[in-house]
Structure 1
Amino acid sequence: MKAMTTGSPATLDTLRFTECDDPGQPGRGEIRVALHGSSLNFHDLGVVTGRMPASAGRVALADGGGVVEAVGDGVTEFAPGDQVVSCFFPDWQDGPATIGDFSRTPGDGIDGFATSHVVRPATAFTRAPRGFDHVEAATITTAGLTAWRALVGDGGLKAGDVVLLLGTGGVSIWGLQIAKAMGATAIVTSSSGEKLERARELGADHVVNYREVQDWGRAVQDWTGGRGVDHVLELGGAGTLPNSINAVRVGGHIALIGTVAGVVGDVPTAALMAKQARLQGLIVGSRRQQQDFVRAIETTGIRPIVDRRFPLAELPDAFRFQETAGHFGKIGVEW
């Protein structure tokens, strides 16, 4: 069978199909999954372009949705025909975070899901949300679960809270949908008026164009009557953190998720202390949190926003589209 693998050096030009062995039948505790869909993440782009070093020949993509074809001895949670979706941290089953690297993350430390079949431990998957196709299901495992953990698992989101979402990529749009489903008020930032209008259509209560309003943290605080927001999904990093601290309320929660606007930089520590805000770094979530998220999706009826879908053979083009930052929500890959 074939898999889309990284080259040496890792670039989009060296990312291509290679022949690989069929994984065979599942052993004890394992399942064989026929894969049909994935979605792109910033982390995946880093791996396939060499910015996040991984072994040459690594099968790409952290997200995988498909159908169980066979189960090994001892597997009772799944049966052939079940639709399943992968876990970003297959070894983190439950409880507080204990993993701080990507050594066991599919598409990075281990082979990912840009292929037709895999055999993995049953605990490396959960059931997919009912009614989702394989691409939609794949959007929950990294971007969706990150937003869920940041807002609900770690943030304790409740009805009436105010949430600030930076940008209109996969994590932020999932965060917008989760916030509205939970009865919260949502504020979205972007440099695109068109994208902000789409965010309003999804339920955003207020939008800010950060190109037009450089001191957008203060603008957000003013919109809340000077109180500030309860939660911030901080995806920019050092370049946007000062504004996020300005925007958050005293005692609020800033979930540090991304570093798109800078890995290093000055952090206004005095302002952070004055706000007595909780600044928490996080990377995706556990299998238990993913199961909780699936139940919430099925209860609320929210569905992911998939901007475009590419066939697996055009995966380099899908990443090139991702590099333009022109997408709204997620970019899907299906086969």
Structure 2
Amino acid sequence: MHSYRLTKPGSANVARLTEEAIPTPGHGQVLVHVRASAINFRDLIIANGWYPLPIPDDQVPLSDGAGEVVAVGEGVSRFKKGDRVANSFFPNLYAGKFNQATQQWVAHHEGWLTEYKVVSAEALVGIPDHLSFEEAATLPCAAVTAWSALQGVRAGDTVLTQGTGGVALFALQFAKAMGARVIATTSSWSKAARLAELGADHVLNYKTVEEWGLQARSLTAGLGVDRVIEVGGPQTLTQSLKAVALGGQISIVGVLAGVEGSIDFMSVFQSQAVLKTVVVGNRGEFEDLMRAIAQHNIRPVIDSVYGFESLQAAWDHFSARDVFGKVVIRH
């Protein structure tokens, strides 16, 4: 089989292709023929050497994958040969919250950019019938993050999403399925049209509306939005605080706009908002999400699909940060 293994941090070529023996599953494990994987912002910072956890040399990258079970080890009852599966983002977090004992792909276990992978059956979830492997591979990180960030949203609430990356688009789709109204932001009118097609009730172009937080508030009769899916970090949080309703929630899921910047404490205090950091989710939450996706026939938004041999092209495209949806590798 073939696998990719990371080169030195910051290298022009993100990974090198290797030829390796197909592994055999042990007790409690299955062998997955990986059919697709997806790139996340986390993968960029790992490749550049900025990740807060140490990454072993020559590690197989990527945290998101989907494929077919082709062999089953002893003691496995969750899956059988032929089942279609995707991986849970945290391999040993079956329930509860992220903690110091939580393991991660690439940091503690080799990632999913390989043709065959032995993995604990407990680290996998089944894929709804209507999804392709490419669609399913987009779910472990971005979709579960969006799902967790929306917990507690009720029909009739207003949700604000930022941009057109994976988390933002999943949040838009899930919020609409929950019966919420969605205000989305973007940087271009062409993307605005596509957001409207996905169901956004209002779209704000933050390139032309500098005070988009106040504009979002005005769309709620001055009350503010009930939930903000905050992906930008300090540079966008100021506007999120202007948009959020008194006592609403800002779900902080990323720092795509960078970590530089400051926040006015009084704005935080006066908002009475809950600022909650979201770190993906556990396997049980992923299973709940899969049921919701099946029930509402939700299909992930894919920006582009690249062949396994075209990893570098996929990486360069994703790194340019001008995408609408997920960038996927077909194995």
The TM-score normalised by the length of structure 2 is 0.96
Aligned match of 2:90: 89
Matches within 5 A, 1:64-213: 64-99=65-100, 104-152=103-151, 156-213=152-209
Any unmatched runs of 5+ in structure 2? none
Give a deviation string over 1:219-267, Cα, whole Å, max 9, x none. 1111111100011110000111010011000110111111111214212
Aligned match of 2:5: 5
Aligned match of 2:295: 299
**Of 283, 294, 305, which aligns to 1:309?**
305
Amino acid of the residue matched to residue 73 of structure 2? Answer: G
Q: Does 1:253 align with 2:243?
A: no
Matches within 5 A, 1:4-23: 4-23=4-23
Aligned match of 2:30: 31
* Structure 1 position 11, deviation (Å): 2.4
Q: Does 1:50 align with 2:49?
A: yes
Worse-matched range after superposition: 272-281 or 107-116: 107-116
Aligned match of 1:41: 40
1:6–1:14 contact (8 Å) kept in structure 2: yes
- After superposition, the Cα gap between the structure-2 partners of 1:253 and 1:9, relative to the gap in structure 1 and judged at 3 Å, is closer
Amino acid of the residue matched to residue 188 of structure 1? Answer: A
Aligned length: 329
Give a deviation string over 1:84-139, Cα, whole Å, max 9, x none. 001110111102332487xx322343210111111111011111122211110111
2:130–2:297 contact (8 Å) kept in structure 1: no
Hey, which bits of structure 1, 4+ residues long, moved more than 4 A? none
Aligned match of 2:228: 232
**Alpha-carbon distance in structure 1 between the residues aligned to 2:128 and 2:137:** 10
* Structure 1 position 16, deviation (Å): 1.8
1:62–1:108 contact (8 Å) kept in structure 2: no
State the identity %: 40
**Alpha-carbon distance in structure 2 between the residues aligned to 1:333 and 1:43:** 16
Any unmatched runs of 5+ in structure 1? none
- SS where residue 240 of structure 1 aligns? helix
2:9–2:47 contact (8 Å) kept in structure 1: no
